Amino acid sequence: MKDIEFRKQAEELVSKMTIEEAASQLLYNSPAIERLDIPEYNWWNEALHGVARAGIATVFPQAIGMAATFDPDFLFEEAKVIAEEARAKYNMSREEGDRDIYKGLTYWSPNINIFRDPRWGRGHETYGEDPYLTGRMGNAFIEGLQQRDEKGYMKIAACAKHFAVHSGPEGIRHGFDAKPTKKDLEETYLPAFETAVEDAKAEAVMGAYNSVNGEPCNANKELLEKTLRGDWGFEGHVVSDCWAVRDFHECFHYTKTPAESAAAAIKAGCDLNCGCTYDYILDAYQEGLITEEDIRQAAVRIYTTRFRLGMFDKECSYNSIDFSASNTKENKELALEAAERSAVLLKNDGLLPLDRKNIKNIAVIGPNAYSSKALAGNYNGDSDEWVTNLDGIRRAAGDDIRIYYSQGSDILKDKEDDLAREGKYYGEARTCAKHSDVVILCLGLDRDLEGEEGDAGNSDASGDKMDLLLPPTQRRLAKEVLSVGKPTVIVLNSGSSLDLSEYERDASAIIQAWYSGQRGGDALADILFGKVSPSGKLPLTFYYEDGNLPDFADYHMAGRTYKFIKEKPWYPFGFGLSYTTFEYSSMKVKKDNDMITVSVDIENTGSFDARETTQVYIKYNGDAVEKPNHVLAGFANTFIKKGDTKTVTIVLDKKQFESVLEDGSRKLLDGEYTVFAGSTQPDERSYELTGKRPLEAELTAQQGVIS
């Protein structure tokens, strides 16, 4: 079936509705229209890293961890699993007469906002700080969710959110006006949405809470009418973030009444309301603020989605997916592989992988050692098998190695027990360390400390971070344990960058494990004991906590991310160590019309079979306004056996060499360009950490032609 036919079916059905019935369908919890055999439907469903809030499902690592894989093909496979489980759950719920929230087929994922500031609590829902990486990963996720069958039905519908220019602060988001420059809009905030719409064909787009340059996102005609539907040709539906339209009159004072707010959103092209402001649509209609055509147009758009999903076809092929397809053994194994591939090895003095022959006792210490919250992230599903870090290490250690465990401290509170003194478990933690050959110190954050405003328990910052340091109780724990002097691996579960440079000298190794999903503990153990080599790369910059970050509420990109940072970071974007070594050689750059092909030979010169992420960056060597340091333009994830050499080829488009000017236009500037290819970005900090620089080649652009 063609999409145009789905649109015609929607138009026909909506034409049979009264104006009151059509208006009722524009709420996220749409009521049934029995005379037309339309069941009630709840549009609100979540699938950020697995089917969320709907019972038992496979829980994959949080989105930021998947970004660390730098592997869109793998994320596509994960998304296919999520879609299969979503359909299985939908079919089960429908059979049981359950039309509740989180039981539908329209999923409000992925979050493709740019993680521009490391303090943002929701940053771990994203694919990091780079627009190109975010676009590639976001597209793969959308395409994996939105598979089509022979009739053209989608398995489930994806939603790219939050459109646009949205990345905190959480505490003021309901009345906050983001003021990006035209250059920052085009260069940073919009590209991932543009490719999600034009290339991945995202079925839905969700508007953000904040306003942009004085106009709320869900009524922003520049964003919704001109850019989204006009310039990009978006044909899906737009949904508001939850209760965001209410903010028009309550927080922004953009309108005076709920009816005016509903009208403003509908007129701008926001078709579906998550919230209750569209209860006033008929008031707006009666007051002459909107027309019947406005209401029916929105209804047609959302019903086109429902027809694309095969909701009204009893013979839709996806109706046969059984409940047993959810949470299978194979899906759990994929979650394990995802966790293994997402972990980033930041430091290793040679301690890792652990040598079983020389280890009889291991201390596993810290508030994230035995915590499922450190695995789950937010917008998560429930697992029937949470394998904590401690569980995974115990499984891998077997009977030959004794495990000593101490919580060491609470993740946040100074006192775990109101009747006891502060530091109740510090003595136990030190003793465990003294009795061990190796210490695994599990620190970091969890979903209660960083997340969405109103969702995370971090009320002081509304889910954002106040700074980049560990909570004080964990800082003291780290000092107490490291003072014992035993070889120590610090494992960080968090969804954002932290600064642990204070402990770096005394730690033998540091692993960034993110919120690693239901098999996170098994994955950690596989890395610690060398069953797999770590291969993740940082999808965001790890800054020093030195006060050099720009003001959180300033959306200008100057001084932010690897592209515009001035100081050396603690650990740079794109960095991650391996248990093996890779040597790059024979870089070749060929031009074919508007495509530039970069190829390199990569030899695995170490002793482990492993994956390698090749990164290609472009740097313009001339003068330009607010010029980026360099820009990620391509990457490839390749498995290479020890001793083998593989040729990796990455194709660039001429457009990737263009610079964004002050007015937001793009132009290929005349002059010299350097193309870099290697394991890291071409910055000094990466060179300090690895002792290696990427290969490079020079190109020249003149009058719109690259040679």
**Which of these ranges, 212-226, 243-257, 412-426, has the smallest mean pLDDT?**
412-426
Q: Is residue 461 pLDDT above 90, yes or no?
A: no
Domains of the chain: 3-321 (3.20.20.300), 329-540 (3.40.50.1700), 582-706 (2.60.40.10)
Q: Are strands 344-348 and 509-512 parallel, antiparallel or unpaired?
A: antiparallel
Residue with tokens 């031009």: 591
Percent of the chain with pLDDT over 70: 100
> Which listed residue (241, 446, 522, 683) is catalytic?
241
Taking residues 516-529, report their average pLDDT.
98
Q: Tell me: the pLDDT tens digits for 538-554?
A: 999 999 998 789 999 99
Q: Tell me: the pLDDT tens digits for 562-600?
A: 999 999 999 999 999 999 999 999 999 999 889 999 999
Q: Which residues contact 457 (CB under 8 A, 6 or more apart)?
A: 448, 449
Q: Which residues contact 332 (CB under 8 A, 6 or more apart)?
A: 58, 385, 518, 519
pLDDT value of position 261: 98
List Cα–Cα distances, 468 to 117, 453, 506, 548, in angstroms: 11, 18, 19, 12
Q: What backbone torsions phi and psi does residue 268 show, to the nearest 5 degrees?
A: -80, -15
Q: How buried is residue 144: exposed, middle or buried, by Cβ count under 10 Å (0-12/13-18/19+)?
A: buried
**For the chain, what is the mean pLDDT?**
97
Cβ(266)–Cβ(296) under 8 Å?
no
The pTM is what?
Answer: 0.98
Q: Quick one: pLDDT band at residue 64, thresholds 50, 70, 90?
A: very high
Contacts 24+ apart (CB under 8 A), 310-317: 310/149, 310/151, 310/153, 310/154, 311/41, 311/105, 312/9, 313/151, 313/153, 316/149, 316/151, 316/153, 317/149, 317/150, 317/151, 317/153
Q: Which residues pair with residue 273 across a beta bridge?
A: 27
What tokens appear for 422 in the block?
């502060």
Q: Is residue 493 pLDDT above 70, yes or no?
A: yes
Taking residues 451-472, report their average pLDDT.
92
Q: Is residue 1 pLDDT above 70, yes or no?
A: no
pLDDT value of position 325: 97
How far apart CA 189 and CA 132 sit, in angstroms, is: 11
Q: Tell me: the pLDDT tens digits for 124-137?
A: 999 999 999 999 99
Q: Tell me: the pLDDT tens digits for 370-420?
A: 999 999 999 999 999 999 999 999 999 999 999 999 999 999 999 888 899
Cβ(145)–Cβ(181) under 8 Å?
no
Residue with tokens 């903010």: 247
Q: Tell me: the pLDDT tens digits for 332-382?
A: 999 999 999 999 999 999 999 999 999 999 999 999 999 999 999 999 999
Cβ(414)–Cβ(473) under 8 Å?
yes
How far apart CA 304 and CA 1 sit, in angstroms, is: 12
pLDDT value of position 458: 87
Cβ(341)–Cβ(613) under 8 Å?
no
Hey, is 443 helix, strand or coil?
A: strand
Cβ(481)–Cβ(408) under 8 Å?
yes
Active site residue 670: no
Question: Which DSSP string corresponds to 580-644?
Answer: S-EEEEEEEEEEETTEEEEEEEEEE-SSS-EEEEEEEEEEE-S--TT--S-EEEEEEEEEE-TT-
Q: Is 325 left (phi over 0), alpha (psi -120 to 50) or beta?
A: alpha
Other Cβ atoms less than 10 A from the Cβ of 421: the count is 8
Q: Tell me: the pLDDT tens digits for 625-671?
A: 999 999 999 999 999 999 999 999 999 999 999 999 999 999 999 99
Q: Is residue 674 pLDDT above 70, yes or no?
A: yes
